[in-house]
Amino acid sequence: MLMIRLIFVLLVITATVLLGLYLLSSDKKYLYYFKQTLKYTFFLVLVTAILFVLRRILYL
């Protein structure tokens, strides 16, 4: 659970910085980086959740 919270906090910080840079500079690359960050964070959370479930199943 600590890993998921840490990932969420880092995502919020990264998203805020990238959206702020996009609003300040109107450069589309920051919006692209924001979308990529969301996509890869989703995959990381999914893998972490699967590992937690497997850990619970294998140790019971």
CA distances for 49 relative to 4, 5, 28, 35, 43, angstroms: 9, 12, 32, 21, 10
Say whether pTM exceeds 0.85.
no
pLDDT tens digit sequence for 9-37 = 988 999 999 999 999 998 899 999 999 99
Mean pLDDT computed over every residue of the chain: 89
The pLDDT score that the predictor gives to residue 60 is 62
- Residue 18: CB atoms within 10 A of its CB come to 20
What tokens appear for 27 in the block? 């450069």
Residue 4 in this model has a pLDDT that exceeds 80 = no
